[in-house]
Amino acid sequence: MINLGIVGYGNLGRGVKAAIEKNADMKLCAVLSRRPQITQKELADIPVLDSGSLPLPRDIKIDVMILCGGSKEDTPVQGPLFAESFSTVDSFDTHADIPEYFQKMDTIARQMGNVSVISAGWDPGIFSLERVLGNAFLPQGHGYTFWGKGVSQGHSDAARMIKGVIDARQYTIPVENTLDEIRKGNTPELSNRQMHKRLVYVVAESPSEHDRIMREIVEMPDYYADYDTEVIFITAEEMKKNHASLPHGGFVLTSAKTGENHKQIMEYRLQLDSNPEFTGSVLAACARAAYRMKQSGHVGAFTMLDIPPAFYSPLTAAELRHKYV
Amino acid sequence: MINLGIVGYGNLGRGVKAAIEKNADMKLCAVLSRRPQITQKELADIPVLDSGSLPLPRDIKIDVMILCGGSKEDTPVQGPLFAESFSTVDSFDTHADIPEYFQKMDTIARQMGNVSVISAGWDPGIFSLERVLGNAFLPQGHGYTFWGKGVSQGHSDAARMIKGVIDARQYTIPVENTLDEIRKGNTPELSNRQMHKRLVYVVAESPSEHDRIMREIVEMPDYYADYDTEVIFITAEEMKKNHASLPHGGFVLTSAKTGENHKQIMEYRLQLDSNPEFTGSVLAACARAAYRMKQSGHVGAFTMLDIPPAFYSPLTAAELRHKYV
C-alpha cells in the first residue's frame, strides 16, 4: 500500500483524491489545506491538517506528497519545502522556469534521499513525453502541439478585466482544417491564427456596451489580436449552467517523410471533460512511479521523460509483458 | 558516436539503415546478410558480412546490433546468439512467446553485461507503451487497440492459398463507426466484426472462378469468417502498381469516466505509409536507448515499458527539459 498525502484541496486536489480511490494499492492518509476546518467537513474520514503543519504528527506516515497548489504562488515554495521531508509529485507548469525549478528540487531531493517528480500531468507531462517520442522516432519530422477545446484561465481573466464585463469564459479551439493538413502529411509553418481560434462567452452589464466590449476583446494584444476570436454574449444563468465544467485536451502530432516520400504520422489526442480530474489521475500514477523509483534506489528530481513507463502501473513487469506488450 | 550493426537486410533492415542516416550520433558499421554478395552490391560503403560470421573481424566495433530478421524463424535463434556478444534491439512480435523470450534474453544479457531491448517497434512497442499509460492513468477505463489501414501478411497468405488465386493482398481496416463510438465516450464490448473489416485484392486465374474464390475467402474460418470482408478482383498489373507499398498504422484508445460522469478519452494514432521504414526508425532510437541504458549501468533485457523516454532522444536531459517539457 502506498501512503499518499495531498497538499492543497482545490479542483486538482479533489481530482487526485478521486483518482486515489480508483487505485487499490493507494491510500490517502492526510490532506493539508489552507482552510482545514472547511476541508475537514468535506472529508469526514481523512485527517485534514493546516498547510503549515510541518513536521506532521508522528502517527501520519506519508510515502509521497502530491502538491496540488498553483504553479505561480504555491508550488515554487511548497515543492522545496515538502521535498525536504517527503518524496513529492507536482504539476509545476511555468514552462520557462522548469529548468531552474528542476535544479532546486533535484538538489534537495538528493540531499534528503527522496524522489521528486516535477511538472507532471498532461502538458507538461504526457504531451512532453509524446513530443520527445515524436522527435526521437522521426528526427527529420515536424512536431506540433495544439490545445483545446478547453478553457484557458488566463484568457478568461483577461476578458473579465474589461470594463462592463461581469464574467467571461474563453475556450481555446484548435483549427480543424490545420489539423487535417498535418494529418495528410503536410508540414506547414504555422502562425498563431492558423493553429488556434478563440471563443469567448461574456456576461455584460448592459447590451448597449456589447459592441465596445467585443472590439476590446478581439483587439487585445497578446491575448486575442493574433487569433480569430468569436465573442458570444450570454446571461449569467447560461454561464452558470453551461460553462461550469473545465473541459480541455489537445493534440501532439509529428509528421515526417521517410524513404521514397512515405508519409509517417504520429498523433496523440486527449479529449477531457474534466481537466483537473484527468490531471489528478495522472498525478496519482506519478506518485506510484515516485514510490517505485525510490524503492529501486533512485533519488533526485525527475520529469515524466525520466520515468520507465512500467513504474506508473500497479502491475508487475512480468504481468505487463504478458498482458500489455 | 554510436556504432551500429544490422542483422538481416530485408525491408526492415533497409528501414533501419535509412533511419540511422537521419541520426547524426549514429554510424552503421556492418550489415550481416544471408546473401552478403548481393547485399554488398547495394551497400557500397558499408562492410557486409555473412550472417554466420561470428565473432566479427577485430576492426569492426559494434555497440548495438539491430536484429531485423523474422520473428518466426530468425529472432528466436539470432537474439540469444547475438546477445552473447553485443547489446541488441529486436522487434520480436510473437505476443504469446514474449515472456519466455524475455527470460532467455535477460539471462544471457545479464551474464554478458549487455542490454537487450526486445519486442520494440510500434506494436509491440509504442502501442504497448500507450496501452500501459492508458491503464495506469485511467484504471477504471476501457482500452482498445485497432490496427490498420494496413496490410496483414498472414491474411494475404491465407487468401493466396486458395485454388485459382495468383496473388492476394489483404488490408485490415478499423471500423470507423466503432472508433467514433469510443471517441464519444462510450465503452462498448466489441466483437471482431465490430472492430475491423477486411478488404482483399485478388488476382485470379480466370473470371469464371471469381464467385467460388470470393466465397472461399469470405467463409474462411479464423481468418475471414468473423469479419465483414470485401473481395475485389484486379489484374496483376494493378496489383503491382497499386499495392506494392506496405502501409499500416492503428489506434490505441482508452476511455473512462471520472467524477460526475466526466468522459476522459486518450487516443493514440499512427498513420504509416511504410510500416518497415517507421519500425526501422523506432528500432534506431531504441538502439540509442540500449546504448544509454548500458552506459548508465543497466544490464539485462528490457521492453519499451522499461526505458525512460529521454533515452530515445539524442538530446541531453537538460536540453529536453528546456525544449520539450
Chain B residues close to A131, C-beta within 8 Å? 324
Q: What is the pLDDT of residue B206?
A: 96
B321 min Cα distance to partner chain A (Å): 6
Q: Which residue of B has its CA nearest to A274?
A: B262
Interface test with A, best of B14, B94, B123, B137 (most A CBs within 10 A): B137
Quick check: is A142 in a domain? no
- Other C-beta atoms lying within 10 Å of the C-beta of residue B114: 25
Residues B293/A306, Cβ–Cβ less than 8 Å = no
One domain, residues B101 and B16: yes
- The model's pLDDT over B97-145, given as tens digits with 9 standing for 90+, comes to 999 999 999 999 999 999 999 999 999 999 999 999 999 999 999 999 9
My answer on whether omega of the bond before B149 falls inside 30° of 0, hence cis, is yes
Handedness of CA A7, A10, A16, A17 (dihedral sign): positive
Tell me whether residue B303 is exposed, middle or buried, using C-beta atoms within 10 angstroms of its C-beta: 0 to 12, 13 to 18, 19 or more.
Answer: buried
Amino acid letter, A70: G
One domain, residues B283 and B237: no
Query: Does A303 contact B314 at a Cβ distance shorter than 8 Å?
Result: no
Q: In what order do the strands lie in the sheet with B165-174?
A: B150-151, B165-174, B196-204, B228-233
One domain, residues B118 and B6: yes
Q: Which residue of A has its CA nearest to B284?
A: A137
pTM of the predicted model as reported, rounded to 2 decimal places: 0.96
Whole-angstrom Cα distance, residue A325 to residue B128? 5
One domain, residues B238 and B283: no
One domain, residues A220 and A169: yes
One domain, residues A154 and A118: no
Q: What is the pLDDT of residue B44?
A: 85
From the list B258, B304, B325, which residue is nearest A119 (CB)?
A: B325
Put simply, whether A25 touches B (Cβ < 8 Å) is no
Question: What cell numbers appear for B17 in the block?
Answer: 539503415
**B318 CB contacts (<8 Å, ≥6 apart)?**
A99
Residues forming beta bridges with residue B21, ordered by sequence position: none
Handedness of CA B272, B277, B280, B284 (dihedral sign): negative
Query: Does A137 contact B285 at a Cβ distance shorter than 8 Å?
Result: yes
Q: What is the number of domains present in chain A?
A: 2
Query: Does A306 contact B303 at a Cβ distance shorter than 8 Å?
Result: no
Which B-chain residues 28-87 have CB contacts (< 8 A) with chain A?
A: none
Query: Does B314 contact A139 at a Cβ distance shorter than 8 Å?
Result: yes
Residues forming beta bridges with residue A163, ordered by sequence position: none
Whole-angstrom Cα distance, residue B168 to residue B245? 14
One domain, residues B87 and B158: no
One domain, residues B197 and B100: no
Query: Does B136 contact A314 at a Cβ distance shorter than 8 Å?
Result: yes
Quick check: is B140 in a domain? no
Query: Does B267 contact A272 at a Cβ distance shorter than 8 Å?
Result: no
Q: Which residues of chain B have pLDDT under 70?
A: none
Quick check: is A249 in a domain? no
Single out the residue in A193, A217, A242 at which a domain terminates: A242
CA-based max dimension of chain A:
67
Question: What cell numbers appear for B256 in the block?
Answer: 473512462
Question: What cell numbers appear for A136 in the block?
Answer: 526521437
Question: What cell numbers appear for A288 in the block?
Answer: 506510484
Put simply, whether A94 touches B (Cβ < 8 Å) is no
Put simply, whether B188 touches A (Cβ < 8 Å) is no
One domain, residues A99 and A154: no
Which A-chain residues 153-172 have CB contacts (< 8 A) with chain B?
A: none
Single out the residue in A242, A264, A294 at which a domain terminates: A242
Quick check: is A19 in a domain? yes
One domain, residues A105 and A31: yes
Strand pairing class (A26-33; A48-50) = parallel
**A72 CB contacts (<8 Å, ≥6 apart)?**
A94
Put simply, whether B296 touches A (Cβ < 8 Å) is no
One domain, residues B169 and B222: yes
Quick check: is A95 in a domain? yes
Question: What cell numbers appear for A124 in the block?
Answer: 507538461
Whole-angstrom Cα distance, residue A267 to residue A290? 28
Q: Which residue of B has its CA nearest to A24?
A: B139
B7 min Cα distance to partner chain A (Å): 20
Q: Which residue of B has its CA nearest to A91?
A: B325
- Other C-beta atoms lying within 10 Å of the C-beta of residue B87: 25
Instruction: Give, in order, the Cα–Cα distances in Å from B283 to each of A69, A279, A284, B27, B72.
Output: 40, 31, 31, 14, 18
Strand pairing class (A248-258; A142-147) = antiparallel
Put simply, whether B319 touches A (Cβ < 8 Å) is no
User: Among A184, A320, A132, which residue's Cα sits nearest to residue B325?
Assistant: A132
Q: What is the pLDDT of residue B260?
A: 87
Chain B residues close to A265, C-beta within 8 Å? 269-272
Per-residue tens of pLDDT for chain A, all 325 residues = 999 999 999 999 999 999 999 999 999 999 999 999 999 999 989 999 999 889 999 999 999 999 999 988 999 999 999 999 999 999 999 989 999 999 999 999 999 999 999 999 999 999 999 999 999 999 999 999 999 999 998 999 999 999 999 999 999 999 999 999 999 999 999 999 999 999 999 999 999 999 999 999 999 999 999 999 999 999 999 999 999 988 999 999 999 999 989 999 999 999 999 999 999 999 999 999 999 999 999 999 999 999 999 999 999 999 999 999 9
Q: First and final CA of chain B: distance in angstroms? A: 26
**A59 CB contacts (<8 Å, ≥6 apart)?**
none
Put simply, whether B312 touches A (Cβ < 8 Å) is yes
Single out the residue in B190, B224, B242 at which a domain terminates: B242
Residues shown for chain A: 325
Quick check: is A107 in a domain? yes
CATH assignment at residue B212: 3.30.360.10
Helix (H, G, I), strand (E, B) or coil at A83: helix
Strand pairing class (B228-233; B196-204) = parallel
Q: What is the pLDDT of residue B52?
A: 87
**B34 CB contacts (<8 Å, ≥6 apart)?**
B8, B50, B51
Q: What is the pLDDT of residue B315?
A: 97
Quick check: is B291 in a domain? yes
Q: What is the pLDDT of residue A260?
A: 87
Query: Does A271 contact B259 at a Cβ distance shorter than 8 Å?
Result: no
Angle between helices A75-83 and A98-112 (to 10 degrees): 20
From the list A132, A270, A307, which residue is nearest B266 (CB)?
A: A270
CATH assignment at residue B285: 3.40.50.720
Which residues in A149-183 are b (16+ Cβ under 10 Å) and which e? Answer: bbbbeebbebbbebeebebbbbbbbbbeebbebbb
One domain, residues B81 and B6: yes
Chain B residues close to A300, C-beta within 8 Å? none
Task: Report DSSP letters for A148-199, one per residue.
Answer: -SEE-HHHHHHHHTSTTEEEEEEEEEE-HHHHHHHHTT------HHHHEEEE
From the list A18, A281, A303, which residue is nearest B325 (CB)?
A: A303
Residues A53/B297, Cβ–Cβ less than 8 Å = no
Interface test with A, best of B321, B322, B323 (most A CBs within 10 A): B321
Size of interface A-B (CB pairs under 8 A): 207
Q: What is the pLDDT of residue B273?
A: 96
Chain A residues close to B259, C-beta within 8 Å? 15, 18, 274, 277
From the list A282, A309, A321, which residue is nearest B129 (CB)?
A: A309
User: Among B263, B253, B234, B246, which residue's Cα sits nearest to residue B143?
Assistant: B253
From the list A264, A313, A324, which residue is nearest B273 (CB)?
A: A264
**B272 CB contacts (<8 Å, ≥6 apart)?**
A262, A264, A265, B122, B150, B247, B248, B249, B278
In B68-189 the beta strands, taken as DSSP E runs, fall at: 87-90, 115-117, 142-147, 150-151, 165-174
Whole-angstrom Cα distance, residue A198 to residue A75? 29
Quick check: is A289 in a domain? yes
Question: What cell numbers appear for B50 in the block?
Answer: 555473412
Q: Which domain holds residue B35?
A: 2-122+276-324
Question: What cell numbers appear for A183 in the block?
Answer: 494529418
